[in-house]
């Protein structure tokens, strides 16, 4: 698209891991100029192994990288001059870190009253606000881990759900503050927090308790609202989730499976009847599904409007025909010049997906360019680079 919604908005991001970078990525995908300030050794997220190995490339597209030692007076002054030129500032460091650098909201708004300051924390203001938090910590505190695992075995969700959603809510707050600034001319502080985010995820179970008077059971032990809503094994050992949430779907599924006799069973007449008979019904259907070809049945389920889903691993999504044909996977250039398929934001504007416009940056790839734009001379940049305050990669 010729012009993106946030064209002309400059964002300065000092963040690491997932939450803050997600906010910056969303704003960058929407067209903002995002300048990421990294330590001269680079964001430590770049070097993570194991479950964190994909963090940096996933959440840092459409950004420029400048590498500055903010623990030096010259480095702090350079960043302050950059923030003076910004519309939005993003951070997600532990409480007190930004204030120690002079990058706290109260200090920055005196220099730049139009600045929207997005702070991503573990907790919003309250008794817990000095605690350090991780996605796993808040999942344990806010009931999500309890709801995910079986009784007595709390289990975190299989992705950084709170970090990602926390960054998303931070971006929503930034957009709201930018819109208000159009009227008032002034920025404001936006705070997003992991714990409150996770409490929102658990809200449906809180209200389930209020409505029913019974505590919600963990998902592996829950009483399903629908009788047919489960994972089944097929003849080739494949697994597939199949659901029938309405009477029409139930009737159609029975006919597809050659189980019309179930439709004549008075104990299975309604969904609630079937829920009460769920163990018996699922055991019977499991014996039916295990004799069938999963691929052939999937075609029939799709043709007849029955919800279903094959059980996939993340690495299999690179070959997903829907993602490929719909443009949901884009080719993203990495800092070493290689390419990978990368899922885009799950939205479209006038039918167009928001594409990567920049590769994943090398450490300090844009330091010289950005500093020149602030009025620094090549000589000053070289002097600060030689002193270890700047790192350039150009």
* Tokens encoding 266: 């008075």
Residue 322 belongs to a domain? no
Residue 62, in any domain of the structure: yes
Catalytic residue selected from 129, 163, 273, 293: 163
Mean pLDDT, all residues of the chain = 96
Choosing from 260, 290, 314, the residue where a domain stops is: 314
Residue 330, burial from CB neighbour count under 10 angstroms (0-12, 13-18, 19+): middle
176-204 per-position pLDDT tens digit: 999 999 999 999 999 999 999 999 999 99
Quick check: 156 pLDDT over 80?
A: yes
Q: How many domains does the chain have?
A: 2
Percentages (nearest 5) of helix, strand, coil residues in the chain: 45, 15, 40
Q: What does the pLDDT look like over 302-311, one tens digit per residue?
A: 999 999 999 9
Q: Which residues constitute the domain of residue 365?
A: 10-201+327-391
The domain spanning residue 306 has which CATH number? 3.30.1540.10
User: 156 is written with which tokens?
Assistant: 């975190």
CATH number at residue 358: 3.40.50.10540
Complete DSSP assignment for 118-151: EEEESS-SSTTTTS---HHHHHHHTSHHHHHSPT
Q: Given 314, 343, 358, which residue is the final one in a domain?
A: 314
Same domain, 122 and 53: yes
Long-range contact pairs involving 251-257 (C-beta distance under 8 Å, separation at least 24):
252/304, 252/305, 252/306, 253/228, 253/301, 253/306, 256/297, 256/300, 256/301, 256/304, 256/306, 257/285, 257/288, 257/289, 257/292
179 and 284 co-located in one domain: no
**Does 264 fall in a domain?**
yes
Query: Residues 103, 164: one domain?
Result: yes
* DSSP category for residue 260: G
How far is it, in rounded angstroms, from Cα 253 to Cα 300? 10
Are 131 and 72 contained in the same domain? Answer: yes
CB 61 within 8 A of CB 342: yes
Clarify whether residues 189 and 245 are in a common domain: no
CA distance 218 to 144: 9
pLDDT at 365 (0 to 100): 98
In a domain, 129, yes or no: yes
Q: State whether 340 and 301 are in the same domain.
A: no
Would you call 93 helix, strand, or coil by DSSP? coil
- Residue 119 CB contacts under 8 Å (≥ 6 apart), including other chains: 91, 92, 98, 105, 189, 190, 191, 192
d(CA 30, CA 16): 20
CA distances from 114 to 30, 80, 134, 180, 251 (A): 20, 14, 31, 11, 60
CA distances to 107, 139, 149, 202 from 156, in Å = 38, 6, 8, 13
Same domain, 92 and 50: yes
Give residue 221's pLDDT: 86
pLDDT band at 340 (very low <50, low <70, confident <90, very high): very high
pLDDT digits (tens, 9 = 90+) for 30-40: 999 999 999 99
**If pLDDT is split at 50, 70 and 90, which confidence band does 222 have?**
confident
* 218: in domain: no
Task: Give 229's contacts (C-beta < 8 A, 6+ positions apart).
Answer: 243, 244, 245
CA within 13 Å, CB half, 34: 33
β-bridge pairing 116-121 and 88-91? parallel
CA dihedral 24, 26, 30, 34 (to 10 degrees): 10
Asked if residue 175 and residue 121 are part of one domain, the reply reads: yes
In a shared domain, residues 276 and 181:
no
Report the pLDDT value the prediction gives residue 25, as an integer from 0 to 100: 98
pTM: 0.94
163 is catalytic: yes
Q: Are residues 18 and 125 in the same domain?
A: yes
22 & 108 share domain: yes
Please indicate, yes or no, if residue 3 is contained in any of the structural domains: no
Indicate whether 367 belongs to any domain. Answer: yes
For range 53-57, the mean pLDDT: 97
Residue 1 has pLDDT above 70, yes or no: no
Burial of 375 from C-beta contacts in 10 A (0-12 / 13-18 / 19+): exposed
Last residue of a domain, one of 314, 335, 369: 314
Q: Say if 219 falls within a structural domain.
A: no
Do 263 and 295 lie in one domain? The reply is: yes
Give me the pLDDT at residue 139, please.
Answer: 98
């Amino acid at each position: 698209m010729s012009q993106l919604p946030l064209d002309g908005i400059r964002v300065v991001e000092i963040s690491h891991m997932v939450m803050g970078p997600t906010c910056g990525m969303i704003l960058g995908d929407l067209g903002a100029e995002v300048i990421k300030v990294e330590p001269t050794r680079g964001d430590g997220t770049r070097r993570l192994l194991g479950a964190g190995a994909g963090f940096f490339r996933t959440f840092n597209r459409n950004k420029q990288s400048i590498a500055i030692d903010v623990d030096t007076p010259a480095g702090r002054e350079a960043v302050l001059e950059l923030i003076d030129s910004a519309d939005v500032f993003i951070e997600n460091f532990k409480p007190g870190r930004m204030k120690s650098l002079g990058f706290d909201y109260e200090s920055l708004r005196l220099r730049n009253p139009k600045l929207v300051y997005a702070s991503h924390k573990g907790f919003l203001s309250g008794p817990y606000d000095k605690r350090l938090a991780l996605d796993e910590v808040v999942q344990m505190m806010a009931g999500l881990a309890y709801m995910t695992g079986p009784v007595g075995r709390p289990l975190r969700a299989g992705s950084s759900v709170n970090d990602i959603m926390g960054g998303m809510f931070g971006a929503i707050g930034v957009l709201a503050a930018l819109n208000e600034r159009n009227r008032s001319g002034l920025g404001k502080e936006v705070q997003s927090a992991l714990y409150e985010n996770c409490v929102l995820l658990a809200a449906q179970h809180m209200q389930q308790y209020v409505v029913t008077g019974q505590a919600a059971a963990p998902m592996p032990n829950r009483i399903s609202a629908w009788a047919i809503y489960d994972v089944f094994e097929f003849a080739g050992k494949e697994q597939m989730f199949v659901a029938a949430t309405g009477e029409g779907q139930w009737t159609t599924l029975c006919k597809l499976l050659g189980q019309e006799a179930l439709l004549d069973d008075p104990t299975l007449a309604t969904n609630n009847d079937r829920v009460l008979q769920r163990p018996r019904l699922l055991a019977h259907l499991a014996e039916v599904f295990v004799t069938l070809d999963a691929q052939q049945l999937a075609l029939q389920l799709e043709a007849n409007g029955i919800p279903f889903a094959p059980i996939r691993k993340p690495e299999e999504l690179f070959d997903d025909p829907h993602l490929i044909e719909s443009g949901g996977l884009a080719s993203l250039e990495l800092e070493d010049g290689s390419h990978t398929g990368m899922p885009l934001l799950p939205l479209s504007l006038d039918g167009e997906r928001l594409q990567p416009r920049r590769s994943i940056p090398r450490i300090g790839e844009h330091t010289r360019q950005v500093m020149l734009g602030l009025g620094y001379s090549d000589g000053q940049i070289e002097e600060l680079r030689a002193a270890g305050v700047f790192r350039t990669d150009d």
